[in-house]
Amino acid sequence: MRLAPKVLGIQTIGLIAFGLAAALSFLAATWAASAIEDVSATTVRRALTEEGHSWAGVHANGLSITLTGEAPTEATRFRALGTAGSVVDAGRVIDAMTVPDPAAIKAPDFSVEVLRNDDGISLIGLVPASEGRDDIVKHITALARGGTVTDMLETARHPAPEGWDEALDFGLDALADLPRSKISIGAARVAITAITDSAEQKARIEAALRRDVPAGTILTLDISAPRPVITPFTLRFLIDEDGPRFDVCSADTEKARARILAAARAAGAVSVDCTIGMGVPSPAWAEASEAAIAAMAELGAGSVTLSDADVSLIAADSVAQADFDHVVGELETALPEVFSLTAVLTPKPQATANQGPPEFTATLSDEGRVQVRGRLPDALTRSAVENFARARFGIGRVYMATRIDPALPEGWPVRALAALEALDSLAEGNVLVRPDLVRVQGTTGSTETAARIARLLSEKLGEGQEFDIRVRYEPKLDPVLALPTAEECVATIAAVLDEHQIAFEPGSATLSPSARPLLDQIAVTLKDCADYPIEVAGHTDSQGGEEMNLALSEDRAEAVIAALMERRILTGNLHATGYGESRPIARNDTEEGREANRRIEFTLLKDAADPGMPADAPLAEGAEMPDAAERAAPPEAGRPEPRPEDAVAEYPTAG
């Protein structure tokens, strides 16, 4: 019995040892499992990172490896699975990755930037795969004409956004006329930066681009032109019965331009402008111009011309000799050293018994025919003038009716040829040459014509010679403006009225407030259509008396013209006519038909005489009425003919 405590102690120690061993085994197993998980996760994570799949999350649970995260594409997800399966047994890899919904992927920002210069054309950008990348490159290669084409275009399999096709076609077409340009194309937007050879080319290209830009496409233009070389560098300021003004003004810098224009305004000129160009004879050009303009303002009548470094001042015969001497002396002192002054006081006309001074004239018709009359010094000069005129205006377009006068002053042939050269700059007009004057007057389609003529005469006639330029700019002759034809004017208005008609208060000629935006649109169109005779026709339905409807329709047509006049539209070419119910375009037995018949129409007067539908002529069963565009569309293109005086009698009227 004494051994019992000892046996009990041994058993207790054994139990404790067994428990410790079990605990140590558990801890060892746990540590080993954790170590295996960490090693597996670390190895897989490293492999994924090396393959570019850092987006993937790695989680170990025993021998299992779970991959999480959002893969950019389905293919990327499979590549990540393959990478993990190459590190550990593929059966241990659990796929918990996700892939975004393809429908939710934002469309790429498609764009193309085209750079073109003398070395070639470069393309860079992203285009839809369906748009034919090869076709784009082929088009650009044709434009390059053997030059280098650098293609850095990429494609994406995504539908083209709205407006992309139109913008792309427009941008690539624009590239053909712009050999030094950068064109950026996006969906419904085109930005063009370019350099042209001249101001005229710049204006022409800008007008063409704005005219051809697709509807809905935003066009941004930044087109520049080099400063022109002006030779001779000319400024001419005159004061006559039309007031102070420039015939031509040139400046070498913005600062010089501002100084010259300020001097002109101080002299009383209102509408002034000055061309900045190259070729100035002296840095003191602005100083000389200011002094010359101030001198002319003090004299009050005459002209002053700066042609390079030569200054020619011609005072009118109304200027007193003392005033002339004083101003010329002051101007001589004020002019910079490089400039030389020639001053002439026009003598007062003397009454003589002869038939007046000798003259040479030439007249250019709007058809391009020229009649040359007056005196020339000899047969050789007459032959030279005739050949020069035929070379300028055409062999069969020149009519010569000159006579020989050997007593003409010296330099007469030069004056005659200079006048003909000036006439060639006009659309129509005439020139007059006298011993003391060369006068040019007529119309032109260029705002630069008067300046060109002034430079020409200043150079050809020399110092101290007087010339008078009366050239009127006509926008309709300007090819840059590309004003609409008469048919385009009425077709544009018809399209507006086809969408919404001009509404009036019931039974009256008072315009409804809803008509204001329509009249605003029509006014914009009519600003370029002032030369075309247009009829504003009022029509009513058959409700009410015939005479009342006739009067109401005319009142409404006149109300429309009055509203356009309020919008500062010239209305001399607009003629109000009321047709009442005599020209229906729909049946009057339905509300829809009556509403269609209550309308305002704009038509060319040459087309307005077409007989309308009489009020008592019923529509045939199944007959269709023409829409507004078909009614307004002219049968042929061309300018409108002048309206004959008795044209009103040709229009049928109600009653």
User: Of 611 and 414, which is predicted with more confidence?
Assistant: 414
**Same domain for 240 and 219?**
no
For 500, phi then psi, to 5°, come to: -145, 135
Structural domain contains residue 14: no
Query: What are the pLDDT digits (tens) for 199-254?
Result: 778 888 888 888 888 888 899 999 988 888 888 999 999 999 989 999 999 999 99
- State the pLDDT at residue 619: 43
Rounded CA-CA distance 361/375 in Å is: 9
Q: Please indicate, yes or no, if residue 19 is contained in any of the structural domains.
A: no
* Residue 576 confidence class, pLDDT cut points 50, 70, 90: very high
Tell me whether residue 429 is exposed, middle or buried, using C-beta atoms within 10 angstroms of its C-beta: 0 to 12, 13 to 18, 19 or more.
buried
Is 188 a member of any domain? yes
Q: Are residues 492 and 414 in the same domain?
A: no
User: Quick one: tokens of 359?
Assistant: 């003259």
Residue, of 480 and 521, whose pLDDT is higher = 521
Peptide bond into 232 cis (omega under 30): yes
The per-residue pLDDT of the chain, averaged, comes to: 83
Mean pLDDT of 468-492: 83
- Domain enclosing residue 632, as ranges: 486-650
Q: What is the pLDDT of residues 488-520, one digit of tens each?
A: 899 999 999 998 899 999 889 999 998 998 999
Tell me, yes or no, whether 220 and 252 share the same domain: no
The residue among 588, 585, 596, 578 whose CA lies nearest residue 544 is 588
- For 227-247, letters b (16+ CB in 10 Å) and e give ebebebbbbbbbbeeeebbbb
The whole model's pTM is what?
A: 0.49
Residues 494 and 640 in one domain: yes
Q: Give the CATH number for residue 605.
A: 3.30.1330.60
Is residue 169 a part of any domain in this protein?
Answer: yes
Same domain? 329 vs 392: no
Residue where a domain stops, chosen among 449, 477, 505: 477
Residue partners of 487: CB distance under 8 A and separation at least 6: 604, 633, 634, 637, 638
Q: Which of 431, 446, 477 represents a domain boundary (last residue)?
A: 477
CATH number of the domain that residue 118 is part of: 3.40.1520.20
Give the pLDDT confidence of 393-444 residue by residue, as tens digits. 988 889 999 999 999 999 999 999 999 999 999 999 999 999 989 999 999 9
How do beta strands 360-364 and 340-345 pair? unpaired
Is residue 16 in a domain? no
Question: Residues 257, 209: one domain?
Answer: no
Residue carrying the six token digits 């111009």: 289
Q: Into how many domains does the chain fold?
A: 5
Q: Do 422 and 504 lie in a common domain?
A: no
Evaluate if residue 616 carries a pLDDT over 80.
Answer: no
pLDDT of residue 624 exceeding 50: no
Asked which of 311, 345, 379 is the last residue of a domain, the reply is 345
Q: Do 473 and 490 sit in the same domain of this protein?
A: no
* pLDDT of res. 52: 87
Backbone angles phi, psi at 603, to 5 degrees: -135, 155
Same domain, 33 and 117: no
Q: Is the residue at 213 inside a domain?
A: yes
* Percent of the chain whose predicted confidence (pLDDT) is above 70: 84
> Within this chain, do residues 71 and 156 fall inside the same structural domain, yes or no?
no
Give start and end residues of each alpha helix (H) in 355-410: 379-393
For the stretch 535-574, pLDDT in tens is: 999 999 988 888 999 999 999 999 999 999 988 788 889 9
Asked if the structure places residue 2 within a domain, the reply is: no
Residue 106 falls within a domain, yes or no?
Answer: no
501 plus 387 within the same structural domain: no
Residues 121 and 88 in one domain: no
